[in-house]
Chain A
Amino acid sequence: MKKKPHTALFMIVLCAFAALILSSLTDFLGPIQKAKKQAFTRRQILDSASIDSEGTTQEILKRFETNLTPLLVDKSGTIMTFKEANINEAQYFKRYEKIGFYKAEYKLFYKINGKDNSMIGFIIPIDGFGLWGPIHGYLAFEKDAITIKGLTFYDHMETPGLGAEIATKKWQKQFVNKSIHSSSEPVTIDSPPFSIWVVKNAEKMEQTLEQKNSSVDAITGASVTSIGVQKAFEVCLKAYRPLILKLHEQHGKS
């Protein structure tokens, strides 16, 4: 019988070999993975603003840069760029990506650029909690700041077939052209909190036209997820209220 190598020696060689293969592979694939992940998030943001999100990774990154500008807003509604606020963009994203941008002192939003760099709408991140874990998405507004242009949820852990319906286009379509201001009164600083009502049978409910225009159908069998989405709307729209009021005042009347 052949003599077997020493146990410790065998393990050390084997582990070193495996580690070498894996580390060189991660080194090689790392940049590709990062680009794919970034393209995925950007595609979601473009989707929420109903801008064409098809194409290769490079095309998406380019389209993102021409159509959208990341900006920050503080508590009083003052808008500034990352440079003006003296904040490192990469660090900022890393810090607030998981916990929610609405918690930051300077809150992130994206300006949708029209012709001549004018503003035709804006996008805010929307973060909340579903049944099994956090939900992350983007909410796009029209120029008047109270009409919804589109919505995407890109990260969630909800039950497939039930709560996970929030990630489908079919469900998200309901939000288009809804208003976050559920009253016929003009929007002022004293307006009731902005929100969207996620309710059962939104079409048939006995309610005023304005309320109907702020309600969407909940998902059958996923009450906790539906409530979570509504909570996310309430919390995020409260945090972004100064921005919404300001932009509505600037552009809403036209």
Chain B
Amino acid sequence: MAKAKYFTTFKNGIYKENQILVAILGICSALAVTIQVKLAIIMGLCVIFVTSISSLLVSLLRTLTPNNVRMLTQLIIISTFVIIIDQVVKALSYEVSKTLSVFIGLIITNCLVMGRSEAFAKYNSPILSFFDGLGAATGYALVIIAISIIRELFGFGTLLGYQIIPTVFYATHPYHLSRFVNFNIMALAPSAFFILGIFIAIFNWTNREKI
């Protein structure tokens, strides 16, 4: 019985209550890190870690936390874990941390993490909150990975750094200028907005009867 509840909470976070597509939370980072699939995957993993663990801790402390400082408590917990993950990434790979450091720091202000703490973990048991955080962050990770696949494929012709669109398709020679050229806009932040907008439209269209 309990197991089913955990699973439903987790599943809802991924699809039915997807934080980006439904709640429109955590968009800022969705724009910034979706330029390469690799960055999106690492960012997704970091957010999954931070959200699930901090939801668990906020929920554990929920009976102890004085009501007037509950936001501060959540922030302290979240930022502690963000700094931990930032330090660990720095120790693992300097190159990755150089591109991601700013964005990892910004997980603290990612509305998603605090949103889950404030809306769910405050009222529910620790394990249930953990699964809620896990589901919400996984949903977030899946969406940003999907956006990054589109952006990297059309913006650079690669996926995870491997060339996908064959180089012979490219307009490299004046004789065949009508061939494929990388979309420069995909390399820039606005494209993430457009793709995200299309995703939300498709999501709302498929769920129009249920809403």
Interface residues of A (CB under 8 A from B): 2, 4-7, 10-11, 14-15, 18, 21-22, 25-26, 29, 32-33, 36-37, 39-40, 155, 159-162, 221
Contacts and interface: CB of A to CB of B under 8 A. Distances in A.
Given A10-B65, A18-B79, A26-B87, 14 more contacts: A4-B63, A7-B68, A11-B69, A14-B76, A18-B80, A22-B80, A22-B83, A29-B91, A33-B91, A36-B93, A160-B187, A161-B184, A161-B186, A162-B184
Interface of B is mostly: helix
A202 to B, nearest CB: 15
B151 to A, nearest CB: 10
B21 interface: no
A159 B188 contact: yes
Number of chain B interface residues as a range: 20 to 34
Contact of A36 (B76, B83, B91): B91
A160 B63 contact: no
- Give the 10 A-B residue pairs with the shortest CB-CB distance, closest first: A161-B187, A7-B66, A36-B94, A18-B80, A40-B94, A32-B91, A29-B91, A33-B90, A33-B91, A37-B94
Contacts of A159: 187-188
Interface in B41-87: 63-69, 72-73, 76-77, 79-80, 83-84, 87
In terms of DSSP, what is the predominant structure of the interface of chain A?
A: helix
23 contacts: A4-B64, A4-B65, A4-B67, A7-B69, A10-B65, A11-B69, A11-B73, A14-B73, A18-B76, A18-B77, A18-B80, A21-B80, A22-B83, A29-B88, A33-B94, A155-B98, A160-B35, A160-B36, A160-B187, A161-B156, A161-B184, A161-B187, A221-B184
A11 B187 contact: no
A22 B93 contact: no
Contacts, number: 69
Contacts of B69: 7, 10-11
B14 to A, nearest CB: 29
B95 interface: yes
B12 interface: no
Contact of B64 (A5, A15, A39, A162): A5
B182 interface: yes
Nearest to A220: B184
Contacts of B88: 29
Contacts of B93: 36
Interface string B135-175: 00000000000000000000110000000000000000000
